[in-house]
Amino acid sequence: MTRRWLPVAVGIGIVVWVAALALLAVTGEGSQRFGQLQPWILLINIAGVIVLLALIGSRLTDFIRDWRRRVPGSRLRGRTILMFGGLAVAPLLLVFTFSVLFLTRGIDSWFHAEVREGLSDALGLSRAALDLRMREVLERTQRIADDLSNLGGSSLYAALDDHLRLAGADELIVTNSGGQPEAYSTSGMQHGLPGTQPEELLQQVRQGSPYVSLEPLSGGGYRIRAATRIGAAQSLQGSRLLVATYPVPQRLADLAATVQNAYQQYGRLSFLREPLKLSFVLTLSLVLLMALLAALYGALFFSQRLVRPVQDLIAGTRAVAKGDFDTRLSMPSHDEIGYLVTSFNDMTKKLARAREETERSQAAVEGERAALAVILARLTSGVISLEPDLRVRVANHAAGNILGVEFDQAAGQPLAELAARHPLLGQLHAVMQRHLEAGESEWREQVTLRSDAGRRELVCACTALPGDAGVPGGLVIVFDEVTQLLQAQRQAAWGEVARRLAHEIRNPLTPIQLSAERMRRKLFRGLQPAEAEILDRSTQTIVQQVEAMKQMVAAFSEYAKAPEMQLSEFDMNALIRQVSDLYHAQDPRVAFGLSLDPRAATLEADPGRIRQLLNNLLTNAVEALDGRENPVIMIETKRAGDQIVLNVIDNGPGFQGGLIEQAFDPYVTSKPKGTGLGLAIVRRIVEEHGGQVELENVPQGGARICITLPAASRELRRADARRERA
Amino acid sequence: MHLTRWRYPGLVIIAALLFAASALPAEASDEGRFEIRNAYVEMLGGAWQLDVRLDLGLSEAARQAFDEGVPLTLMLEVEATTARRFLPDETVVSLTKEWQLAYDAIADRYVVTDPVTGEHVSHATRAEALDALAHISKLQFADTTQLPTGGRFEMRVRASVEIGDLPTAIKVLLFWKSWSRSTDWYVWSVRP
């Protein structure tokens, strides 16, 4: 409310002030009128000064506070105030100086010596004219007094009337020596009894001198009073006086009054000369002070108006710097500052829009990144993303499982350091380095990684990531473990071979055997003993070999055949005891050590196949221990979550050379008479149950076969489903 | 030593102004006496009349102004109060009477004028004129309806001389000049 009415009040104040100055200008030439108005002018100016001082004080306090707090824009405002103030003060002081100079000289010019002399001369002239008149009147009065010296009673009155009329007097009075009237005659203009005569008149006449004086009248004009003694009495006692008053001619009286007024006015002005000058200078000083204060207030006011948009811009810029893009500035005007404010508002709008788009993009990127992380986590393929300097950016869980590396804390670590600690990753790193040194950033290769746990086949693909502005984006390596797939392929191929062998070989074997037996039967009797013996031996050999081939074909047929699973719950530990007892009974030299976890007792599986699995494992182990001293076979079971782990460890020679990498392949054997199907069948049974099998050489000597089987059929069925999908 | 450093400059300025203000009356006191010598009232013809005798000394400024032709104004303030029980005194009569003294250069006479009645008396010399002004006689200021004859009342009279016919603004602006002089109140009780 106060802010809204303040400009109105200031406007009214300025109008009143200007009106006061106009009055000063209008009345300046007449000191009388100026004198009447000057108190009001002074009052207006003093009130204005007080109001302006209050306003300036308020604004100056605000400005000093802003200056001390180093409010943005306060320095600019200070310079603006100095500039505005300087521009206003200099011309004002100049005008004031010259005004005072002209004013004092103007007032002084009123009192030139010529004026004073002229007035004095006019006064002297007037006095001379009146003195002449007064002398004439006095002589006339003396003549009348001479005529009246011998008269008394009614003749005196008559004489007075005659002389009054003849002399043109207003009043003729005959008094005693004390001034008391004895007889008088007045013109029509006089009424009532004459009053007492002035003491000075009586004293002068008493002293023997005639009296004449010019007396000013209350209504303006003059009259001449003359007095003389009547007769030639020696002493005043008993003598009479004649007092006569005469009018001054109107023309002369008017001129004399004019001269008197001018003389009096000049004297008054002469007396007021210095006070007037001082008064004018003080008034001008007050006006100057008012103008200076108004200029100062204007400088404060307009500097604030001028600087406020700049302050708003600075505050807006700071807000934008702090990230507040919603800042909008009000339009102060339609000039350059207004254009600047409009540009600033446009800029903040665009920044806000850009930030919103960035946030949306960032959210989309975050979403995609989260989705990618989920996808990566669920991928069975290993994925490793590398920085251009081969530091690990990210790697998924599958990569860790395949390579045996904990990638959770590996982000940012050089791949070479990790490779030095993890052999599988080291082999992969070596392959990658080979390609990088060859200048290949994109390559695809099947890599074989070797470890104590066996061989692992990886299909790797490396791709360079796109970078920004010429900066390389790094590499991403995707790899799948195809060891089991290859083994499954080999297993399937060998199954097909076995089936064909069984089919193609089994069929001709029976005719061969029958033909050999028929040939022996037909020919044996007709031959010589020696020839008969040869025939018998030959046919016997053919039959034996055919029989052996039949057994081999049966074995291959058995491998190729996959009968339906008969799942049931059974005590695996008990089965292990039975089988181990059987083998121990066959070869008591071999010691069996059993470490069977009761929690691993119950297994839901095909007991016939598990028995075959145990038979194959123990057969291999016993055969491997042939000829060894203190042969020992350790059989362990333990529970690991939902899995049952079976370890069969012997202290034999272990797998020699590269045999460990192909131990599960059919027809791979280190034994002279082995078919090489034992471990292949073990692997097939484990996989049919959804388990895993690994083998390794024990550092102390011997081999260890580790089999992990799901404890319940649920996992088994799931494994079936996976297998079917595969 | 910090004696040269004014701690309260505002107080110093105020003290200096007070000192200057106190010095102004001292300047005025060096001039002619201006006081009421005596005054009395009497009942004449059913009206209370006042006689006052003044020592009418003019200030230097007044003398200078008068010599230059500026008229002087003699102002007489008359008050009559009656006592009241339990209440402040009641001002029964309050009268201000003025006379103007001017010099007529043509007639070379000093004229005393009553602005109200227009009564006009001229004197040959300034001393005579001042003497005439200093003897105020038979000034009727109240009648018996205002001041009963048998009652007791208190009179007080004060006179002042002003340099008349000057612009008010000049008097305001040049306030430090002795544009007027006043006597103290002359107070006496009138008893039956």
Strand partners, B186: B157
Q: Give me the CATH number covering residue A640.
A: 3.30.565.10
Quick one: A637 and A679 in the same domain? yes
Of A510, A537, A560, which residue sits at a domain end?
A: A560
Interface of A with B (CB under 8 A): 31-32, 34-36, 38-39, 42, 123, 126-127, 130, 200, 213-219, 222, 256-257, 259-260, 263-268, 270-272, 275-276, 278-279, 282-283
C-alpha–C-alpha distance, residues A26 and A36, integer Å: 13
Q: Give me the CATH number covering residue A217.
A: 3.30.450.20
Residues of A in Cβ contact (< 8 Å) with B168: 35-36, 38-39
Judge: B167–A31 Cβ closer than 8 Å, yes or no. Answer: yes
Residues of B in Cβ contact (< 8 Å) with A128: none
Quick one: A585 and A721 in the same domain? yes
Identify whether A633 is part of a domain: yes
Of A481, A513, A539, which residue sits at a domain end?
A: A481
Question: Mind listing the pLDDT tens digit for each residue in A615-656?
Answer: 989 988 888 888 888 899 999 999 988 889 999 999 888 887
Quick one: A298 and A391 in the same domain? no
Of A452, A481, A510, which residue sits at a domain end?
A: A481
Confidence band, pLDDT 50/70/90 cuts, at residue B2: very low
Q: Among A283, A244, A460, A373, which Cα is nearest to B174's?
A: A283
Higher per-residue confidence, A31 vs A250: A250
Residues of B in Cβ contact (< 8 Å) with A257: 106
Q: Taking residues A677-705, report their average pLDDT.
A: 85
Range of the structural domain that residue A518 is part of = 488-560
pTM score over 0.95: no
Quick one: A474 and A548 in the same domain? no
Instruction: Please give the tally of structural domains in chain A.
Output: 5
Q: Taking residues A414-438, report their average pLDDT.
A: 89
Judge: B172–A271 Cβ closer than 8 Å, yes or no. Answer: no
Chain A contact for B190 (CB, 8 A cutoff):
no
A vs B: CB pairs below 8 A:
101
Cα of B189 to nearest chain A Cα, Å? 35
Identify whether A688 is part of a domain: yes
User: What's the sign of the alpha-carbon dihedral B115, B119, B125, B128?
Assistant: negative
Task: Name the residue of chain A whose CA is nearest to B64's CA.
Answer: A271
Identify whether A173 is part of a domain: yes
pLDDT at A493 over 90: no
Confidence band, pLDDT 50/70/90 cuts, at residue A314: confident
Quick one: A433 and A454 in the same domain? yes
Residues of B in Cβ contact (< 8 Å) with A196: none
C-alpha–C-alpha distance, residues A512 and A668, integer Å: 29
Question: Mind listing the pLDDT tens digit for each residue in B32-43?
Answer: 788 999 999 998
Chain A contact for B105 (CB, 8 A cutoff):
yes
Name the residue facing A127 among B106, B119, B128 (closest C-beta): B106
- Dig out the tokens for A688 from the structure: 């049919």
How much is the mean pLDDT over chain A? Answer: 82
Contact A140, A227 (CB under 8 A): no
Residues of B in Cβ contact (< 8 Å) with A276: 170
Residues of B in Cβ contact (< 8 Å) with A120: none
Identify whether A658 is part of a domain: yes
C-alpha–C-alpha distance, residues A100 and A285, integer Å: 9
Pick the residue of A41, A197, A218 with the most B CBs within 10 A to test the interface with B by mutation.
A218
Name the residue facing B104 among A35, A260, A268 (closest C-beta): A260
Residues of A in Cβ contact (< 8 Å) with B64: 271
Q: How many CA atoms lie within 13 A of A679 on its CB side?
A: 28
Name the residue facing A271 among B65, B105, B168 (closest C-beta): B65
Residues of A in Cβ contact (< 8 Å) with B101: none
Chain A contact for B127 (CB, 8 A cutoff):
no
Quick one: A592 and A611 in the same domain? yes
Name the residue facing B170 among A130, A260, A276 (closest C-beta): A276
Quick one: A78 and A151 in the same domain? no
Question: Mind listing the pLDDT tens digit for each residue in A320-371?
Answer: 888 888 878 887 777 887 888 888 888 888 988 988 999 999 999 999 888 8
Q: Taking residues A457-463, report their average pLDDT.
A: 89
User: DSSP strand E in A513-672: where?
Assistant: 568-571, 591-596, 602-605, 632-640, 643-650
Cα of A177 to nearest chain B Cα, Å? 21
Question: Mind listing the pLDDT tens digit for each residue in A522-568?
Answer: 888 888 888 888 888 888 888 888 888 887 777 777 776 666 778 88
Quick one: A98 and A139 in the same domain? no
Q: Name the maximum alpha-carbon separation found in chain B.
A: 79
Contact B41, B190 (CB under 8 A): yes
- Dig out the tokens for A185 from the structure: 């005659």
Residues of A in Cβ contact (< 8 Å) with B72: none
Cα of B76 to nearest chain A Cα, Å? 22
Identify whether A239 is part of a domain: yes
Quick one: A576 and A706 in the same domain? yes
Quick one: A595 and A469 in the same domain? no
Name the residue facing B107 among A35, A216, A278 (closest C-beta): A216
Judge: B69–A257 Cβ closer than 8 Å, yes or no. Answer: no
- Calculate ∠ Cα B83-B86-B88, nearest 5°: 50
Contact A316, A341 (CB under 8 A): no
C-alpha–C-alpha distance, residues B122 and B132, integer Å: 10
Identify whether A57 is part of a domain: yes
Higher per-residue confidence, A271 vs B165: A271
Identify whether A264 is part of a domain: no
Judge: B170–A35 Cβ closer than 8 Å, yes or no. Answer: yes
Highest mean pLDDT among A75-89, A459-473, A624-638, A686-700: A624-638
Give one DSSP letter per residue of B166-182, joined into a string: --HHHHHHTTTS--EEE
What pLDDT sits at residue A496? 78
Q: Among B95, B138, B135, B78, which Cα is nearest to B112's?
A: B135
Quick one: A474 and A502 in the same domain? no
Pick the residue of B135, B172, B173 with the most A CBs within 10 A to test the interface with A by mutation.
B173
Those residues whose C-beta lies under 8 Å from the C-beta of residue A351, and which sit 6 or more positions away, are A320, A325
Quick one: A494 and A595 in the same domain? no
Judge: B169–A38 Cβ closer than 8 Å, yes or no. Answer: yes
Q: Taking residues A52-59, report their average pLDDT.
A: 86
Residues 61-100 of B with CB under 8 A from A: 64-65, 67-70
